[in-house]
Structure 1
C-alpha cells in the first residue's frame, strides 16, 4: 500500500521546510533510511530519510513545504496513490495516461490498465528547457532543426531559442533518437520544463513526462491524423492578404510566418532585413501596408456656367483611430519585471552634479593621437567612475536582503540600447584597465549587444552601472538602479554653458551627472562624496594617470 512521506518538524521553531535538493527521483527504489532530499529549516540544512520501502511514485514540485505537507509517496510500481494527495495535483507522477473511453457501439470490455514503466527503467532522457541566462524564466522556440524520429548526436543543433537577452542555439546533450518534442515553433516554454526526450528507438518515455503528457503535436501518429483530417476537409478560400502557398518561395523565419498569419499580413509585400533578405519577426511586426490612393472623377460639367456652381465648402477632415497590439518579447518582459522590482523595492534617491569637461575635452583630443582605438567621452566617464569607486567602497556595494556585500573589485555595467529593449554588458575590472582597454571592451560588447550575440557571462557580475543618453541630446535624467547594484550613474550631454570663472563669464562645456542611490545601502552624504571625487577626476583627467 502506498504511503505518504510528510515534511517533518525538524526544530521547535520550524513552520516549513525548503527543499534544497532531491537525491532521489520518481521511479527510484528506496529502502528505510535512504536519504531522499536535503531540507533547509530555519536553523540548518538537514537530510530527510525515507521511513518506508518501495518505489518513489510521487515527488512534490514545491520548494517551500509546510510541516506535515506531503512531499513524496512511496509504494508499489503502478499503484494508485492520488487519494493520498487530497486533491493536490502538483509533482512528478508515475502513473499511466488515462485510457480512452470505448465507443458506445463497441461491446468489447476495456483492456486492463497496464502499469507505467518506472522512470528509472526507461532507456531515454528528458531534456528540459535550459536556463540560458540568470534572468531567464522562459524561452520561445524560434525554429526546430530536428524532428521526432531523427537520429541526433551529442552537440547537434536541435533548435534556436529566443531568451530575454538573445537568440541562442540549443544543442543535444547526448546521442540517440529524438522521441518527443514538447513545443511547437513560436511557443514559449518555462525554464526547466520538459522540452525534448532522447533515447533508444521505441522506448516508452511516458513515465518521464509524469504519465499524463503526450506528444500530440510532435509524434508521427499525430501528424498522420492531421493529414487525414486535412484531406477530408475542403479548403476554405483564403483572403487576399493571407499567407498563400506561393509564400514558400519567400525566405521567412517560422516565427515571422506565424505572426504574419495571425495578423493577415501578405508577406509578399514585406521586405526582409535578415540574412540574404530573409524576413524575420521584426520585419512583420513593423510592417505597414502602403495606402492605395483613390481618385473620384469630377461630376461637374465643364460647360456649366460658373454662376450656377454651388458655393465651395470647406473640406471636412476625418481621421481614423487605429492601433497595433504587439506581443511582449522575452527581453521586454524581463526588463519590466526587474525594473519594477527595483523601483518599488529599493528606496531611490537622486543626486545631481555639474562637471566642467573643458580639460577632459582637451585631454581626449591629445590622447586620441596616440591611442590604438578612438576614445569617447563615455570611455573617460567609465574610467573615472571606476577609479572613484575604489575610494568609496560604500557605493561599490550590493543589497542582498539580510546582508550588504562590499565588493573589492570594480566591474561596470554599461547600458546599451537595442531594438527590443536594453542590455547591460559588463566591463570587468575596469579600475585596473587603461583607457584604451576600456574603449576596446566597450566597443566590442556594445557591438555584440546590438547583434544579440552577448554570452550570459558577459552580462553578469556588475558592481555599478552607467547609463549615458548624452549622445541623444539629453541634458540630465534619472535612471532606475540595476539590481543587485546599489547605484547607477545617469550621464547627460556636454552643453556649452556660460559660467563664472575668477569673476569673468566664460563659456564652458558642462555635463550633468545624476546618481541614483538605494537608500538601504547608501546615504546622501556618501553619495555626495562619491560625486565630488568623480567630478575632480573628470575636471582634471591628469589625476587618473597618477
Structure 2
C-alpha cells in the first residue's frame, strides 16, 4: 500500500495540461495565457447573452458621403478632432430620440424606457473589450462627443475608467470599419436593447438616377433583443438613423 508521501499528486499545471489533452491539444505545442479579470467577465457575459437572449439582425446600406462631408467641415488641427464614428454616435442618439422604443432594456421587473441616449462605444483593450458610455449623447455636440470618446478610449486602454463609466448604458455602437471589415454582426451586451455594428466606408457600384454609378457606402447591422424590439420597430429606427446620416451636416 502506498504511503501518502509516495503518492504523486498532479500539480495544477499538470491537471490543466491533461484537460487540454482531452481537447486534442498536445503538450509542448502551445503557450497558455491565463484569463485576466476583464476577459473572464466578458466571456461570461457574452456567453450568457448569446445563449439566453433571443436576438435578430437587421442590415442596411447607407450612403456615407454626408458623413464624410460633415467631418471635412471640422478643422482637423483643433482639439477634439471629429471622426466618422463620432458623427455616427450623434446620429444614433438622434435616432434613439426619434424612436424611443429602441432606447430600452429588458429586465425581469419590466421594460426599462431610458430617458436619455446613453450610448456605449466598444473599445478594444489588452485582454478583452470594454464599452465606455457617452452619457446623454442627445444633449451633446459632435465635438463634445469626439472629445469624450477619445478620453474614454484612452483611459479604457490604460484601465483608468470608473465603474459608472462603463456599467449600464442603453445602446451600443461597435465599429470595425477602420480595420477594413465590410459588415458584421455583434453579440448583445446587456442591459443594452440593441447594438449597431458599423462596417467600412467603401466605394461600391450603386444605382444613381436609374443608372450604374460609384458611391461611398457603408453597411450597418442592428442586432436587436427581440424581448424589447420587434422587426418593424427596429426597421423604423434604422430609417431614423438613415435620415440622420443623410442630414449629417445638421448634427451639431
TM-score interval for Structure 1 and Structure 2 normalised by the shorter chain: 0.7 to 0.9
Q: Is residue 141–residue 251 contact of structure 2 (8 Å, CA) maintained in 1?
A: no
Q: CA deviation at 1:491?
A: 0.6
Deviations 1:41-85 (A, max 9, x none): xxxxxxxxxxxxxxxxxxxxxxxxxxxxxxxxxxxxxxxxxxxxx
The verdict on how the C-alpha distance between 1:325 and 1:370 changes in structure 2, with shifts beyond 3 A counting, is: closer
What is residue 238 of structure 2 aligned with on the other side? Answer: 531
Equivalent of 1:450, from 133, 157, 176? 157
Are residues 1:413 and 2:120 paired? yes
Q: CA deviation at 1:492?
A: 0.6
| In 2, Cα distance between equivalents of 1:474 and 1:464 | 21
Q: Is residue 491–residue 514 contact of structure 1 (8 Å, CA) maintained in 2?
A: yes
Are residues 1:326 and 2:38 paired? no
Secondary structure of the corresponding residue to residue 542 of structure 1: helix
Q: CA deviation at 1:362?
A: 1.5
Equivalent of 2:94, from 376, 383, 387? 387
Matched ranges for 1:338-487 at <5 A: 338-368=45-75, 372-487=79-194
Deviations 1:111-139 (A, max 9, x none): xxxxxxxxxxxxxxxxxxxxxxxxxxxxx
TM-score normalised by length of structure 2: 0.86
Q: CA deviation at 1:325?
A: 1.8
Q: Is residue 427–residue 438 contact of structure 1 (8 Å, CA) maintained in 2?
A: yes
Deviations 1:390-425 (A, max 9, x none): 011111001011300111111111110011000111
Matched ranges for 1:75-94 at <5 A: none
| In 2, Cα distance between equivalents of 1:434 and 1:416 | 21
Equivalent of 1:504, from 188, 208, 211? 211
Q: Is residue 371–residue 436 contact of structure 1 (8 Å, CA) maintained in 2?
A: no
| In 2, Cα distance between equivalents of 1:359 and 1:437 | 20
Structure 2 unmatched ranges of 5 or more? 1-12, 14-26
Q: Is residue 481–residue 487 contact of structure 1 (8 Å, CA) maintained in 2?
A: yes
Q: CA deviation at 1:506?
A: 2.0
Structure 1 unmatched ranges of 5 or more? 1-261, 263-319
Matched ranges for 1:114-193 at <5 A: none
Count of aligned pairs:
228
Q: Is residue 168–residue 191 contact of structure 2 (8 Å, CA) maintained in 1?
A: no
Q: CA deviation at 1:503?
A: 2.0
What is residue 141 of structure 1 aligned with on the other side? Answer: none
Q: Is residue 88–residue 245 contact of structure 2 (8 Å, CA) maintained in 1?
A: yes
| In 2, Cα distance between equivalents of 1:328 and 1:431 | 37
Instruction: Flag the structure with higher helix content.
Output: 2
| In 2, Cα distance between equivalents of 1:537 and 1:370 | 26
Are residues 1:493 and 2:200 paired? yes
Deviations 1:234-285 (A, max 9, x none): xxxxxxxxxxxxxxxxxxxxxxxxxxxx8xxxxxxxxxxxxxxxxxxxxxxx
Q: CA deviation at 1:366?
A: 1.4
Secondary structure of the corresponding residue to residue 367 of structure 1: coil
Deviations 1:149-200 (A, max 9, x none): xxxxxxxxxxxxxxxxxxxxxxxxxxxxxxxxxxxxxxxxxxxxxxxxxxxx
| In 2, Cα distance between equivalents of 1:509 and 1:544 | 20
RMSD over equivalenced CA pairs, Å? 1.8
Secondary structure of the corresponding residue to residue 493 of structure 1: coil
Structure having the higher Rg: 1
| In 1, Cα distance between equivalents of 2:100 and 2:175 | 23
| In 2, Cα distance between equivalents of 1:370 and 1:327 | 42
| In 2, Cα distance between equivalents of 1:371 and 1:434 | 15
Larger RCO: 1 or 2 (CA < 8 Å, sep 6+): 2
| In 2, Cα distance between equivalents of 1:488 and 1:365 | 27
Q: Is residue 414–residue 425 contact of structure 1 (8 Å, CA) maintained in 2?
A: yes
Matched ranges for 1:303-314 at <5 A: none
Q: CA deviation at 1:543?
A: 4.1
The verdict on how the C-alpha distance between 1:502 and 1:463 changes in structure 2, with shifts beyond 3 A counting, is: same
